[in-house]
Structure 1
Amino acid sequence: MFRIIIVLCAVFNSLHCVTVRFNLKQLPRFYTPLNDKIFLAGSFNQWIPNDQRYEFNSITKSLTIDLPQSTTVEFKITRGSWSTTETWADGTARANRKLTTSNNLQSIDVSIEQWLDTAGRVHTATNQVYILDSNFSMWNHLPRTRRIWIYLPRSYSTDLNRRYPVIYAHDAQNLFDASTSFSGEWGVDESLDNFSQEMIVVGIDNGGSERLNELTPYPNAKYGGGQANLYLDFIVDKLRPYINSRFRTKPERENTAILGSSLGGLCSFYAGVRHEDIFGLIGIFSPSFWFSDDIYTYAAKHTFRGSPPRLYFVGGQLESSTMVSDVQRMINVLQNTTIEYKQNPSKVKLVVAADGQHQEWFWRREFPTAIKWLFP
């Protein structure tokens, strides 16, 4: 019935309908992904949660529609599905909102306290951290989507002529927020909030069951893997251009870093060699060089076309029995094949911590020093 009346609103004069403007005055600071679409769903559109006719403007956060006069309608706000509908701040379901239309133009302010899919979590991310996209497409490199985070420095919203270096980081679940971490977060945002040099961080969630595949350049006879080329091509060919086109970045290789730990450390090292023209600063935390000896062969055979990237290695003596020796072996390979790594100590740094373990707390502690060295 209401759908028919709404169509008639475009035909008959204002005596039959009233224009209503909905304004999103407040959204949950965390987590409302910057790229997510927001919809109005209600009794006037058969409660379709992702009806494009009722999508809010992404810039103005407003939606203007015509409704029948002197009629009570019910509605809710969603991010495209009933699993992402609005709730009260504590996560409990809220009753349908109600609006009785008048005979004049109406403007309705709406504040969203929380979303159903993120309710009940205690977030530790600072105000500089945003979810860029909860389902960023990796097509046509990999048939998947991925949650992407972004950290923007405090000055980003005020110094509008300034551009910033960028760090790309793996395993974003563990970088900023305790509620999404597996065994503690790195506190990247808290660390960078206190730095005099400001930078943007783009965090890429790991793929869960696909993590081992995506972060390893060569397969292991026991564990499989070996899709790092596709994963890194996604970062280089799709994600990085997207970031550079929408945020004020310094895109040069000397201002672009990539880092990670464990398999993420292995993948970051590989990225620094394979994509030497893109990444000039590499943070390699407890790298899983044990996964395949092919990584040593690849490094030994590679000839850098220009000045090689700066490499910061971190390892702990309480990790595997071969962690430190594996890293030292890789450094020896590099110094034997690349003169600049042998002659220029500012290009390679190895930190070995006596108490270092293969755990998030260790990488969190070492992160600030690594960044200060990579960005001198």
Structure 2
Amino acid sequence: MRFITEFVAGFELSIHLPSSYQEENKRYPVIYLQDAGNVAMDAFNYLQHLFNSKQLPELILVGVKPHDRNHDYTPWPAGALVTGSSSFGGGAGRYVQLLADEIKPYIDRHYLTMPERENTAIAGCSLGGLVSAYAYFNRPETFGKSAWISASFWYEGFIAYMQETPLPAEKHRLYMYVGELEGIYKQTIQSGMVAQTKEAHRILLAKGFPQEQLKFETDPLGTHDSFFFAARFMNALKWLFADGTDAFPR
């Protein structure tokens, strides 16, 4: 893959182009990744294998580096979880707007993308998964697929937001994951990570999200770290863009 760094709308982008890029008449789906796309880089060689072996169609990956995760990825302000840690700024609305209205159009103008919503995904882990969920509710006309990997559904008020907000009318394909050991040693609201994620899944189905468009995985040994995020990201890509079989079957 070819790597390019760009600065758009004040954000640093890490753009990963397929090996076949610039072949005649070829365009590619795009996935926008939070946290600079680190989840893809953590399993880059295996990801390349999935492309080379045709288990995945080639994609353009756009990693977006946040200015401040606690601000960019949270939907409304909230206090710090523990004394001495940072509070949450609630800047996700502005961040998602810039991603949809400035960053994506720039990528579509300058790269060989398939710009339609059904060929455009957003994904992230932890708070990056939370803002990806928020983008689904707020910009469904832009992002037709998403992956919420160990998303921070413990965030104060987010489950209530999901309960109160109608599902977007546009068809969406979604991957969700949480590890069963996430948050079990926390003394804060993060201890509810697993229960809140399962509640988020229940809410989606109860509101009518098509079950055939949603894949929800758990792992009895899963903790909240990149070791598990990267493996589940491969499964997410296969669900969103390929045959839906697991890249890492259990």
Query: Is TM (by shorter chain) over 0.5?
Result: yes
1:358 matched residue in structure 2: 224
Task: Note the 1:125-204 alignment, pairs <5 A.
Answer: 128-133=1-6, 136-138=7-9, 145-157=10-22, 159-172=23-36, 174-175=38-39, 185-188=41-44, 190-195=46-51, 196=54, 197-204=57-64
- Specify which structure has the higher proportion of strand: 1
Task: Give the C-alpha shift of residue 206 in structure 1.
Answer: 2.3
- TM-score, normalised via structure 2 length: 0.84
| Offset at residue 150 of structure 1 (A) | 0.8
2:89 corresponds to 1:225: yes
Partner residue of 1:335 out of 198, 205, 227: 205
Instruction: Report SS of the residue matched to 2:151.
Output: coil
Instruction: Find the structure with the greater CA-based Rg.
Output: 1
Identity of aligned residues (%): 35
| Distance verdict in 2 for CA 1:285–1:252, change over 3 Å | same
Q: 1:317 aligns with which of 155, 180, 192?
A: 180
Aligned Cα RMSD in Å?
1.8
1:291 aligns with 2:134: no
1:189 deviates by 6.0
User: AA paired with 1:154?
Assistant: S
CA shift digits 1:242-288 (9 cap, x unpaired): 00011111111111100000000100011011111111111001011
In the TM superposition, residue 146 of structure 1 has moved relative to its aligned partner by 2.5
The whole-number CA distance in structure 1 between the counterparts of 2:117 and 2:45 is: 23
Q: Which runs of 5+ in 1 are unaligned?
A: 1-127, 139-144, 177-184
Contact 2:39–2:226 (CA under 8 A) maintained in structure 1: no
Of 302, 324, 347, which aligns to 2:213?
A: 347
Counterpart for residue 189 of structure 2: none
CA contact (8 A) 1:154 1:193 kept: no
Contact 1:219 1:292 in 2 (8 A): no
Partner SS, residue 155 of structure 1: coil
Pair 1:170–1:305, CA change in 2 (3 A):
closer
C-alpha change, 1:189 and 1:246, in structure 2 (3 Å) is: farther
Q: Is the 8 A contact 1:276 1:304 kept in 2?
A: no
Deviation, structure 1 residue 137: 4.3
Name the structure, 1 or 2, with higher relative contact order (CA <8 Å, separation 6+): 2
Long gaps (5+) in structure 2: 81-86, 185-191, 243-250
Give the number of aligned pairs: 225
> Which residue of structure 2 lines up, in the alignment, with residue 90 of structure 1?
none
Q: Does 1:256 find its partner at 2:120?
A: yes
